[in-house]
Amino acid sequence: MNNQLIEKVIKTNNGSCPDFVFANPLLDRNIASALSKSFVQMFTTSRQTSSIHNNLRHTVLNNVRKICKIEPENHLKIREDTIDILSQCYVENIEETTENTQSLEKQLDDFLTRRMSGFNCTPKIDLAPNPEIVQALLNLNFSHTEVLMKNVLNWSVDDKTLNILKYLWTSKLEKENIYDDLSVKIKSEIEKDLLHLIHLIITDSRTDISHIFDDSMKHLVSKCSISNHCFQLCCGIMNNLFITTNFHPRIQSFIEIFLNNVKLGCTKPTISLLYPTHLSQIVLLLDIDINKLSGITKSKYVDVVINYLHDLSDKSENDLIMLLCHFHQWFEIYLASKNCK
């Protein structure tokens, strides 16, 4: 089927057709799903008054009948190992793309891409495999995604690759550390989602923030619980918005609920390991219920932590604001120590 016919079938029954991404549009699962739903609706819904619909319906039925013959004309006989052969062929094609990579250059490129992710750096080395081959592998339920993802930092992001990256982002991958690199590549999509949600909660006071974390934020929180890069990216976006809006109380509530949900799903020994290295030590100190400490112990503990916070204030005011927002019990204590100086 050509693009025009696919679009016509989908629009005849659904009203809207997803954008065509691949040269073979049926590689896109959204297109394939919309088309199959349209076929079902076409076959089950009677519209005798529409000659266009009936003609289209008869044409499709005739083609389905031809396909369903025991020995259709020009039909390729499928062996049991055909899927394995296709997968092997596609994997070899992907490996050929990367086999001539100079490892030292690539390692440096990967390091800089991760460290400078906040600046939307474009990698110098482009090892993006053919996106249509990657999508074909995914459609074959290819299980070894690490083969596809080992050079994801070096993919150039266009409509086709972004479509694949977003699909992989919502999938359950075998290796959790892959989400670190994925979050770098789809940074703009994560930013867009967070900006939309935060705009919603500050413009509509009726919006239940807790409900957002049961629905829209559920998937993102699960990724932040296992991915340092994703967690730090989200924290940076939320902190910038918190400061820009002059410490809007509903954003503060949003951040607090976000952190509590991340803690619940955190797969690391302590949540401090999700923070940047230079903050992990102080986070470990902040993440404690000081009300459970006895009088003298509590006083000495608070003094140590406050000294760390004062040092952090001199180095990075943004980091200080972020941590006081994340661990709100320390805000009044820190403010009181500033007033005593």
Place of tokens 């003609």: 55
What is the pTM for the complete model shown? 0.72
The residues, ordered by sequence, that sit 6+ positions from 303 with a Cβ below 8 Å of its Cβ are none
Residue 50, pLDDT above cutoff 70: no
SS3 171: coil
The residues, ordered by sequence, that sit 6+ positions from 97 with a Cβ below 8 Å of its Cβ are 127, 128, 129, 130
For residues 279 and 322, give the distance between their C-alpha atoms in angstroms, rounded to a whole number: 11
- pLDDT tens-digit readout, 260-291: 999 999 988 899 999 999 999 999 999 988 88
For residues 180 and 190, give the distance between their C-alpha atoms in angstroms, rounded to a whole number: 13
The residue among 100, 90, 178, 172 whose CA lies nearest residue 132 is: 90
Confidence at 7, pLDDT banded by 50, 70, 90: confident
Q: Quick one: how far is CA 334 from the chain centroid? A: 35
What percent of the chain is predicted at pLDDT more than 70?
A: 73
The residue among 110, 116, 145, 109 whose CA lies nearest residue 129 is: 145
Alpha helices in the chain (DSSP H): 3-13, 29-44, 51-67, 82-98, 103-115, 131-139, 145-149, 159-169, 178-185, 187-203, 209-214, 218-224, 228-244, 249-265, 277-286, 295-315, 317-326, 331-340
pLDDT for res 251: 95
Average pLDDT over residues 236-244: 94
Contact yes or no for 200/207 (Cβ under 8 A): yes
